[in-house]
């Protein structure tokens, strides 16, 4: 495993890249240039090895067996929970719920908090830059409860309108759900400030951390949020595992989300009582290997250093924007001063899909389309964008390749 040289904030990117086997691949005759980490990041060998070792040596179902192997699996599962709690500075590991990913975490809060606390005429506040995963669950619960969705507008740079938010918070708002970092614009939202504004009025805040957790230190207590959701697969861990952090005071008042094994204390046909936190929200056999992989991903990120990753990516982002901006017809979508990990753009006279297809032919993997943020595309009046997104393994040379390839693709398409 790699770490930056002691006493510096610089990453040894060549050594990091050597930990990611997939980066050795060629794509269409070129070395793979992977610029789609916002959709899902690649996995370092320690994550792959930890999961392989778990299945080869330690697998059994958790929490149910008296035998040694089941206890080993349970210990590994609960060690992962402690690692997550430490990683996000949760006050207690009982406030860390394992879910499939960000989407499930938000659905859990919408379904459970919504059933408990939302009534006709209440409001849920989201923003214009939310991923569909932080829009649709709220629409579903609003339709069931008669609550109403309010949407905070953004500026042309992609910055949240805090005055509009303040005005909305004076309404009958029961919850604010906002992304920490926008997956399409890269905007970093001022979560602490939002939480303070909401809490002054007694309103809880959920932050969608899917795009923040791979890029920067996250401390849920410093952010002041009531709920924080993220996915393992965007932070160098496996797919199928994610986390909902929730403040105990809310989780205890919320009803279970799914019913089944493990989430109960006692079941009779007449009445069932619930297990304690976090198990009340973890019905059924969990993704045990996923938690082991997530734990290894946390260890890996910490070995590299979260500050060092953030600094490296900030420098790459600045460089990438600088290289792309002068290309003829270039329109960068998302130019907020506080920005992380994402460069979205359209080029006049071309369709993002065609640009993405040509980039692929040159070995460059970028995402094209609406990025599950269709209202945001409408806001900017574009059908979609080309999105290059960064991970700790990306290099300046890759961004130079991107800029040259984009220039070439644009010339071919115009």
Region of 50-58, 97-105, 284-292, 314-322 interacting with ligand PLP (CB under 6 A): 97-105
CB of 131 to ligand PLP, least distance (A): 4
Phi, psi (deg, nearest 5) at residue 382: -130, 150
Report the Cα 122 to chain-centroid distance in Å: 27
Region of 131-139, 152-160, 311-319, 336-344 interacting with ligand PLP (CB under 6 A): 131-139
Q: Among residues 228 and 358, whose Cβ is nearest to ligand PLP?
A: 228
Q: Are residues 174 and 147 in contact, defined by beta-carbon separation less than 8 angstroms?
A: yes
Phi, psi (deg, nearest 5) at residue 179: -80, 140
Among 211, 344, 350, 394, which residue interacts with ligand PLP (rule: CB under 6 A)?
A: 211
Alpha helices in 178-226 (DSSP H): 191-200, 220-223
Burial of 77 from C-beta contacts in 10 A (0-12 / 13-18 / 19+): buried
Token pair 């997550």 is found at 84
Question: What does the block give as tokens for 354?
Answer: 């065609």
Among 133, 145, 291, 385, which residue interacts with ligand PLP (rule: CB under 6 A)?
A: 133
Region of 208-216, 252-260, 277-285, 295-303 interacting with ligand PLP (CB under 6 A): 208-216
CB of 133 to ligand PLP, least distance (A): 4
Give the containing element (helix H, strand E) for 124. Answer: strand 123-127
Q: Is 131 in the site for ligand PLP (CB under 6 A)?
A: yes
Q: Among residues 13 and 310, whose Cβ is nearest to ligand PLP?
A: 310
Whether cis (ω within 30° of 0) applies to the bond prior to 204 is no
The b/e string for 189-217 (b: 16+ C-beta within 10 A; e otherwise) is: bbbeebbebbeeeebbbbbbbbbbbbbbb
Q: Among residues 297 and 347, whose Cβ is nearest to ligand PLP?
A: 297
Q: Among residues 103 and 350, whose Cβ is nearest to ligand PLP?
A: 103
CB of 100 to ligand PLP, least distance (A): 7
Region of 55-63, 203-211, 279-287, 320-328 interacting with ligand PLP (CB under 6 A): 203-211
What does the per-residue mask of binding to ligand PLP show for 222-261, with x meaning CB under 6 A?
Answer: ---------x------------------------------
CB of 277 to ligand PLP, least distance (A): 22
What does the per-residue mask of binding to ligand PLP show for 21-40, with x meaning CB under 6 A?
Answer: ------------------x-
CB of 182 to ligand PLP, least distance (A): 7
33 is catalytic: no
Residue of 372, 379, 382, 395 with catalytic role: 372
Q: Please count the residues of this chain forming the interface with ligand PLP, following the rule CB under 6 A.
A: 13
Measured CA to CA, the distance from residue 359 to residue 411 in angstroms comes to 13
Token pair 């669950």 is found at 137
Q: Is 208 in the site for ligand PLP (CB under 6 A)?
A: yes
Kindly state the greatest CA–CA separation across the chain.
70
Q: Among residues 39 and 48, whose Cβ is nearest to ligand PLP?
A: 39
What does the per-residue mask of binding to ligand PLP show for 34-73, with x meaning CB under 6 A?
Answer: -----x----------------------------------
Q: Among residues 187 and 275, whose Cβ is nearest to ligand PLP?
A: 187
Total Cβ atoms within 10 A of residue 155: 12
Total Cβ atoms within 10 A of residue 68: 10
CB of 94 to ligand PLP, least distance (A): 23
* Angle, helices 162-169/191-200, rounded to nearest 10 degrees: 20
Question: Hey, what's the torsion of the CAs at 296, 297, 303, 306, to 10 degrees?
Answer: -150
Q: Is 183 in the site for ligand PLP (CB under 6 A)?
A: yes
Q: Which among 70, 65, 10 is positioned nearest to 310, based on CA atoms?
A: 10
Q: Are residues 366 and 359 in contact, defined by beta-carbon separation less than 8 angstroms?
A: yes
Alpha helices in 146-183 (DSSP H): 162-169
Residues 339-368, interacting with ligand PLP (CB under 6 A): none
Q: Which residues bind ligand PLP (CB under 6 A)?
A: 39, 101-103, 131, 133-134, 179, 183, 208, 210-211, 231
Residues assigned a catalytic role: 372
């Amino acid at each position: 495993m790699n770490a930056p040289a002691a006493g510096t904030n610089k990453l040894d990117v060549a050594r990091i890249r050597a930990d990611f086997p997939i980066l050795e691949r060629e794509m269409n005759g070129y070395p793979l240039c992977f610029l789609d980490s916002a959709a899902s990041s690649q996995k370092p060998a320690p994550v792959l090895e930890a999961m392989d070792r778990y299945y080869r040596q330690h697998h059994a179902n958790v929490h149910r067996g008296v035998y040694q192997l089941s206890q080993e699996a349970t210990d590994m599962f609960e060690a992962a929970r402690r690692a997550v709690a430490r990683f996000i500075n949760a006050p207690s590991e009982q406030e860390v719920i394992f879910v499939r990913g960000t989407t499930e975490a938000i659905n859990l809060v919408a379904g459970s908090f919504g059933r408990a606390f939302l009534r006709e005429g209440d409001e849920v506040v989201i923003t214009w830059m939310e991923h569909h995963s932080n829009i649709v669950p709220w629409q579903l619960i609003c339709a069931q409860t008669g609550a109403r969705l309010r949407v905070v507008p953004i500026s042309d740079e992609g910055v949240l309108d805090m005055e509009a938010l303040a005005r909305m918070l004076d309404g009958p708002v029961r919850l604010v759900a906002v992304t920490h970092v926008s997956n399409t614009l890269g905007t970093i939202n001022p979560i602490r400030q939002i939480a303070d504004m909401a809490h002054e009025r007694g309103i809880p805040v959920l932050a969608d951390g899917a795009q923040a957790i791979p890029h920067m230190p996250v401390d849920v207590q410093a952010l002041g949020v009531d709920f924080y959701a993220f996915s393992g697969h965007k932070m160098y861990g496996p797919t199928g595992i994610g986390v909902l952090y929730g403040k105990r005071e809310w989780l205890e008042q919320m009803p279970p989300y799914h019913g089944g094994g493990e989430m109960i204390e006692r079941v009779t046909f007449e009445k069932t009582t619930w297990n304690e936190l976090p198990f009340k929200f973890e019905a059924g056999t969990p993704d045990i290997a996923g938690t082991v992989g997530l734990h290894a991903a946390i260890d890996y990120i910490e070995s590299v250093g979260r500050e060092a990753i953030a600094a490296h990516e900030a420098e790459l982002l600045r460089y990438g924007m600088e290289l792309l901006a002068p290309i003829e017809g270039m329109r960068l979508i998302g130019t907020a001063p506080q920005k992380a990990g994402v460069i979205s753009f359209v080029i006049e006279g071309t369709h993002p899909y065609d640009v993405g297809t040509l980039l692929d032919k040159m070995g460059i993997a970028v995402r094209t389309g609406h990025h599950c943020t269709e209202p945001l595309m409408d806001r900017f009046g574009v059908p979609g964008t080309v999105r290059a997104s960064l991970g700790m393994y990306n290099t300046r040379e890759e961004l130079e390749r991107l800029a040259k390839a984009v220039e070439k693709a644009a010339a071919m398409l115009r």
